[in-house]
Structures are given as C-alpha cells and as structure tokens.
Amino acid sequence: MTTMDKGSNVPSVEHVERMKENLEKVEALSRRLVDVMAHKTSHNPALDAPSQELFANAATAYWAESLQNPARIIEQQVAYWGKTVTHFAEAQQALARGKFEAPADPGPKDRRFANPLWDSHPYFNFIKQQYLINADAIQEAVDSVEDLDDKEKRRLKYFSRQIVDMLAPTNFLGTNPDALEKALETEGQSLVDGLENLVSDLEANNGELVVRLVDEKAFELGGNIATSPGKVVYRNRMMELIQYEPTTEKVFQTPLVIFPPWINKFYILDLKEQNSLIKWITSQGYTLFVVSWVNPDAAYAEVGMEDYIEDGYFAAIREIKAITKVQQINAIGYCIAGTTLALVLSLMKQRGDKSIKSATFFTALTDFAEQGEFTPFLSDDFIDGIEAEVEKQGFLRSYIMARTFSYLRSNDLVYSPAIRSYMMGETPPAFDLLYWNGDGSNLPRKMAMQYLRGLCQRNEFAQEGFELLGHKLKLEEVNVPLCSIACETDHIAAWKDCYRGVQKMGAKDRTFILTQSGHIAGIVNPPSKKKYGHYLNDDLSLSAEDWQAGADFHEGSWWPHWEAWLRKRSGKQIAARTPGDSEHPPLADAPGTYVTTKASR
C-alpha cells in the first residue's frame, strides 16, 4: 500500500482516492446507525445527570460567594484570563519566530496526551494546554463554592469532573492526533472500522451506548474460563449450588460456601487456573460450595432481599448440611452478598440458628453512614430515577449499573476504550477480567429498592434496624467468629467504611485484613503472583487511620493468612467428598446453567 509520495509527508493522489472510497462505505453503516437509533430502548432520563437543582444551588452559592467575597472571585477570574492570554501570546510568539513548533510545555504529564504531537505541534499543543487551563479553572471554581452541604459538594465535584473529562480534546476526531494519523495511514479504513464497532455496540444494546471493552468471542465459560471441575448439586428459582471436585485425598470436615454478589457472576473467582480462588481453596483441602445466582428478568419483579435470604442463603446452608452430614459450615460473602451475609447472621441469632460456624467478608459494606464515591448516585434524584425505571421494567437492567460503575473511572473505562474502538477502529482486547466485567446481571425491582433505600440511603442495618422477614435485623448482632478483607484503593466499598462496619459487629473474635489494590485485584490476588501485599493489626478499637498506621505490612497475597485463620475453624480432616449424594444427584457440570444467561437489555 502506497501511503505517501516518496520523500514527502503529503498523501499521494492514489492514497487520497482510496481513502475516499473507504469513506463511501460509511453510508451503509450510517443507515444501520439510523435504524438502530430509531428502535432505541429508553431509560429514565434522571439516570443520566443530576437534577437541575444541584447546579442551581451551586450557581446560587457561587453568586453569594461573589457578593460576600468579590476579591476572591475576581482573583480567580483574573488568574484564568492571565493564563489564557499568556498561553495565546506564547503560541503567537513561537509562530512569529518562523518556526512551526510549540512553546515549551513544563506542565504535568497526562497519559491521555502521550502522542509526541501534543508537545511538539503548535495546533495540538495549544489545544491541550488550553484544555488543561480550562479544567483547572472549573475545578478551582467548584472548590470555592462553600455554601453547600458536604454531600452536595461531592456531587458537584463528581459531575463537574465528568463534564471536564467528556470535553477532553482526545475525545474528538479533529483534535486527536492518534486518530488522525491512523486514518491517514489506513486510508480511512480505521474510521470505517470504528463506525462498524460503534454501530455493532449500539445494535448489541438496543441503541444504548455501552462501550465494548473486550473481544467476547475469545472466551467460553467452562472452556477457557470458569474451568474448575464440579457439579451443580441443587437448583431452585434463585440459585444453583455448585460443589467442586476435591483435589486432595483428605479434606477438612467443615465445608465452606461462597456467596458471590448477584450484581455480577461468580466466576470472577475462577477465571484462569493460575488466579482462581476456587481452585486454590480446593487445593488447600476444603470441601467447597459456590452459589451461582439466577439472572433475573421482569418475572422476578417482586423478589426481595428476603427471597435471596430464604431461597439463597438458607437453602444453600440446608442442602450443604444434608450433603456433608454436618451441623455447621463456614461461609464467605463477597460485596453485596457479604452485606446480606451479615443480615443472615443477625437473623440466625434471633432465631437461635447456629448453622454458620464462621463468616468471611470480602469487600463488604455493612455501615453506609459514609457513601464515598457513590454519593452522587445515592441522592434522591438519582434513586428516584432508578425507582421509576424499575417500576416500568420490573428490574434494574445490568447496563445501568455497569455504566454507573464505569463513570467512577471514566477515562479508563469509558473514553479511552471508546477512542480505541470508535476512532482508531481497533478490536477490543481478549482480557478475561474485562469479559467478566461486561457479563453482568440484572436486579429485581423490589430487592434493588430495599437495598438502595433501606440499607444505602437510610443505613437502617447499622442504626435502628432493618425490617425483614418479621425481624428487625441489627449489625451489632453479628457475633460469630469473623474475618473481613477490604481493599486499600477500592472505589466501590471503601476500606475505612468496611472497617467501621466490622467495629460495630458484636463478635468477640474479629480479624481485619487490608490488602493493597482495588475491589477485584485486591481479592483475586494469588500467592503465585507475589504482587499486592497486605496489612494486619489485631487492635480493632483504633480509628481506621491509626489502625493502618500501626499495622504490620506483609509482602504478597493475604490468601495464606486467611487460610490459616479458616483452618483453625474447619475441624478435623476426613476422606475427600465427591460432589452430591443419592439425594443430590449432579444436575449439570460446573459452571452450571444459570451463569450462561445474559442480562436483559
């Protein structure tokens, strides 16, 4: 392919003609685009942005500040004007010297602007620097707003940052040198491929724009991910119960069950053999059961937290006890399933049920007094929008939750993938973690609102009590031996909030482990990787800050330390158990059938 005339950076005539031919292919794709948008499904608009009241309150507060302290506001504006005019003057001076080069750029590095042209080319350099000046001015203006309560201030910061990130010059073809260079190099084919990717994503999601992060054709459940051998030994309307094959001749008498979050699917704990927590646990000599939740649709609209407890937790515990012939089991709850495990433990205490011997919590919030980065999504206008949405649909669609989580890291999880896919025309990578991330689950209407209103907004479990199944459940009633693992940079379940919940539990035997990294990588951290370390401190009477300051840091995975804790609570060793029994014949091979159901759009 001839891309340029010899000895010149100017595209050849042939090159330009081929590019025109490629661009003509856009017409067919445009027709597909029009068609998919004409049949687009809708969602409640309140889920797209905050109510106008937030911005009105911010504007009122900013105006009040300007009247009370005009010098401060004028100082900010003059500083912004000065930076802008100076920036323009420097660019003009560089051009006046007769050299087509950008002025020196000593500013901080930003990986969005990695292309050398952002620093060397006057056009791109001017755009970049002015964008950064504008971004700083907006942040400073938001920071200066004082007459707002703390939650409103957090929301204002969040949404203003979203606006700034959305308007980055990298997000537009005409101001993205990587995309423009790729278009010239490929004679426009990258733009055609990018539009194909865009239309395909819209068609896959009924007109909703959900950026595809991974090559979905690269993975098969039970084929190259979720491959640990096991059998489905029980199934009801809420879940499949998987018992995994033993990998040791002897196992501990007390079995272990994992309750994964039903917002996502359980195989995050069984992606590849080398990082599979499921495989590792069985290799340590445990009889392991894992719950695989149903992916609900509109028929599950009236399913509530009580159904997840009765037909999920209690059903699993009952069947495990029957299969293994024991009276007590150890349990793990991950994220929302950990929150619910705490509810279950309170309910068991009130009922006098001692079926759970010990409990482990993975990144589980039980005290929602502080809402951290989720503050923007737990205000009434957003929750009201969700309530209207689920009343109409019968369930909360998975993509709405996925989009909410993604915008907490919008540059990494929205804009950068969109640039690569839609502007550069690249095929998404074959990355197992991102495949799992895109394979979400819906939430039933009733359950979603119980969780958002009662637990998240009103924090009833940690305060006056959460009404469920005729009981008022309280965090202080969680009194079994417990181990909580939280993640240092978790933006979904902040570790200090997890710690505060553990402090309020009534158990005398409490262990808290703080691992490095985030919500997923901090948990899926096998010893073989020798990657993220963890903190240990037995004194849980301290504040979170003092606890970490006084903690001992240990290199490597937390898994062995937790397993040593679990081993002490798992009884004697017995002959390994094969999955099921005469009353529980295998219904399917792991990973089961429920896990393959895709979320409704």
Q: Which residues are catalytic?
A: 335
Task: Say if residues 594 and 234 touch (Cβ distance below 8 Å).
Answer: no
Pair 339, 366: CB distance under 8 Å: yes
Contact 535, 552 (CB under 8 A): yes
Rounded to an integer, what distance in angstroms lies between the CA atom of residue 359 and that of residue 341? 8
Residues 6+ apart with CB under 8 A from 345: 356, 359, 477, 478, 479, 480
In a 3-state reduction of DSSP, which class is residue 444? strand
Which DSSP letter does residue 103 get? P
Q: Which of 354, 338, 379, 373 is nearest to 475 (CA)?
A: 338
Q: Which two tokens stand for residue 403?
A: 């989009």
Query: Which tokens sit at 221?
Result: 């459940």
Q: Please state, in angstroms and rounded to a whole number, the distance separating the CA atoms of residues 11 and 18.
A: 11
Instruction: Return all residues near 272 (Cβ < 8 A) that are at least 6 apart.
Output: 225, 432
The C-alpha atoms of residue 73 and residue 256 are separated, in whole angstroms, by 60
149: left (phi over 0), alpha (psi -120 to 50) or beta: beta
How many CA atoms within 13 Å lie on the side-chain side of 44? 21
Kindly give the residue spans of alpha helices, DSSP state H, lying in 543-595: 544-549, 559-567
SS3 589: strand
Is the four-CA dihedral 138, 142, 144, 145 of positive or negative sign? Answer: positive
Enter the DSSP assignment of 403. Answer: H
| Alpha carbon distance 420, 428 (integer Å) | 8
Own/partner long-range contacts of 75-81 (Cβ < 8 Å, ≥24 apart)? 76/137, 76/140, 76/141, 76/144, 80/133, 80/137
| Other Cβ atoms closer than 10 A to 482 | 24
Give the helix/strand (H/E) hosting 266: none
Q: Are 15 and 3 contacting, i.e. CB atoms less than 8 angstroms apart? A: yes
Name the DSSP class of 169: G
Residues in a beta bridge with 574: 251
Instruction: Supply angle C-alpha 172, 176, 178, rounded to 5.
Output: 135
Between CA 320 and CA 326 the distance in angstroms is 8
Strand partners, 553: 535
Task: Give the pairing of strands 482-487 and 356-362.
Answer: parallel
419 half-sphere exposure, CB direction, 13 A CA radius: 23
Residue 528: exposure state from Cβ atoms within 10 A (0-12, 13-18, ≥19): exposed
**CA contacts within 13 A on the Cβ side of 527:** 12
557 touches 526 (CB < 8 A): yes
